[in-house]
Amino acid sequence: MKKIAVFASGSGSNFQAIIDAVKESKLHAEISLLVCDKREAFCIERAGQAGIPQFVFTAKNYADKADYERAILRELEGLGVDFIVLAGYMRLIGTTLLRSYEGRIVNIHPSLLPAFPGKDAIGQALAAKVKVSGVTVHFVDEGMDTGPIIAQKAIEIDASETKESLQAKIHAIEHELYPTVLQNLLNAGGLS
Ligand code: GRF
């Protein structure tokens, strides 16, 4: 069974979808670790409820990105983690983690990349008044939401759409898409 670590900074609804998919045997992987950079984030509660070990860190307690990523790497290597799943992790991955895990790190982003990378992709899509947006799963490289695209799903944006309604639609798609794409990657040996 492949071992994954999920990185999150917030509510962790995608993390929960992955936990549920593992429980329901839709995703054949072991979630070995939650990595979180926010002590008050709800994803930590979710990990606790599911009995998943956590590495919670405060970036400002480290000299720099390389320093905290070395600490993360020690945890990952200690547990024999095979790949990294970013789920609302609000930091760019640096060279320390990329060197060891390049090609084995995936991210989910709430837009049809390359449109609307970075923060508040949903707000950006609404401000641009696009008629279609969606969700992208991609491999992570050193850029901001720039790595090779693995899967995308489009959503039509209604005239009456609000940030809340679009976010709800996007989350519903993400929770279905992410575990499915992860399992497909595992089947294809794409994350091994
Ligand atoms: C998701 O919309 C994901 O696409 C983006 O951050 C959000 C995280 O939501 N990268 P949650 O914490 O999984 O609920």
Nearest ligand 1 atom, CA 14: 13
Say what percent of the chain tops pLDDT 70. Answer: 98
Nearest ligand 1 atom, CA 86: 10
What pLDDT sits at residue 192? 47
What pLDDT sits at residue 190? 61
The shares of helix, strand and coil residues in the chain, as percent rounded to the nearest 5, are 40, 20, 40
* Tens of pLDDT, residues 63-76: 999 999 999 999 99
Q: In what order do the strands lie in the sheet with 54-56?
A: 54-56, 29-36, 2-8, 83-86, 105-109, 132-139, 149-156
The CATH H-level superfamily of 2-188 is: Formyl transferase, N-terminal domain (3.40.50.170)
Residue predicted with more confidence, 189 or 12: 12
Q: If you take atom 12 of ligand 1, which residue's CA is the nearest one?
A: 12
Closest CA to 79 of 1, 183, 191: 1
Nearest ligand 1 atom, CA 107: 10
Residue 106, pLDDT > 50, answer yes
Residue 64 neighbours by CB distance under 10 Å = 10
**How far, in Å, from the CA of 87 to the mean position of ligand 1?**
6
Residue 80, pLDDT > 50, answer yes
Pocket probe mutation, ligand 1, options 13, 106, 181, max atoms within 8 Å of Cβ: 13
Average model confidence (pLDDT) across the chain: 96
Q: If you take atom 6 of ligand 1, which residue's CA is the nearest one?
A: 88
* Tens of pLDDT, residues 108-162: 999 999 999 999 999 999 999 999 999 999 999 999 999 999 999 999 999 999 9
Q: If you take atom 14 of ligand 1, which residue's CA is the nearest one?
A: 13
Q: Domain segments of the chain: what residues?
A: 2-188
* Tens of pLDDT, residues 12-32: 999 999 999 999 999 999 999
What pLDDT sits at residue 191? 61
**What pTM was computed for the model?**
0.96
Q: If you take atom 5 of ligand 1, which residue's CA is the nearest one?
A: 88
For residues 133 and 115, what is the distance between their CA atoms, to the nearest angstrom? Answer: 9
DSSP 137-163: EEE--SSSS-SPEEEEEEEEPPTT--H
**What positions carry a catalytic annotation?**
109
